[in-house]
Amino acid sequence: MAEIQTSTLHTTEIGDTGEPVVFLHGLFGRGKNFTRIAKDLVPGYRSLLVDLPNHGESDWTDTVDYRQMADSVAETLRGGFAAQGPVAVVGHSLGGKVAMVLALRHPELVSRLVVVDIAPTRAGGAEGEFAHLLDSLAAVDLSTVRRRQDAEDALRGPIPWDTTRLFLLQNLRGGADGYSWEPNLELLRRSLDAIGGFPDTGAAVYEGPVLWVAGGRSDYVRDEYVPIMRELFPRTHRVTIREAGHWVHSQAPEKFTAVLRGFLEHG
């Protein structure tokens, strides 16, 4: 596992051989959220796990804009991982929107696209949920946190779901000056309208193969979104993993990896 810092994006590589695959995480996430999936793809594939702007170890920005994020990913890929040709790109939630915009704006970099439990539309109802989670993290008085358990105890009331709370606590980092949150919580909170939407990409259409993976217990992918998805991505094939919710790759990793591998091999 090799970690790399570009001018703006922190990345981690897993695997030394095989076809290249890029993973883009969702809101509150980090590239390493896809570590298990990437390791399961070895040795046939080598993976690049990207920390998107304002997340993980990547730089913070002044605004949240999907076109800027996609362009940052494109710059990173051109500088190394995709220097020899286009690569497969997998994006979940916020990362799925970045991946779609990347394919539309920089199709020469994307050999095939996997969009996980999100659509190129406004995510109805999600902003309230995300606002609650961001407010809950920001409300933790980090000056009183002496160990990770203190932060978990503070979040147990507002975020009673164990898996969600533990997922969010991955963003807590300790150092000589105490604990801090790695994501840019203030910017993300005031940018929820932009995060929930999808940018105007003009007349762009991505003609490559696309796998659209939905969680059966999630409502982020709906039948009414199919026309706009197919308008932008005409070669779309939709698969639903019934036992999974929104975090498909962590809630049904074996099924997700099998579906992903089948698409990468046969498209």
Catalytic residues: 93, 186, 246
Q: How many CA atoms lie within 13 A of 224 on its CB side?
A: 6
The helix/strand/coil state of 104 is helix
Nearest to 62 by CA among 186, 179, 170: 186
Pair 104, 201: CB distance under 8 Å: yes
Gap between the Cα atoms of 127 and 120, Å rounded: 15
Q: Which residues touch 79 (CB under 8 Å, ≥6 apart)?
A: 6
Q: Which residues touch 72 (CB under 8 Å, ≥6 apart)?
A: 8, 9, 52, 53
- Cis amide linkage into residue 227, ω under 30° from 0: no
DSSP 161: -
User: Which tokens is 83 given?
Assistant: 């220097």
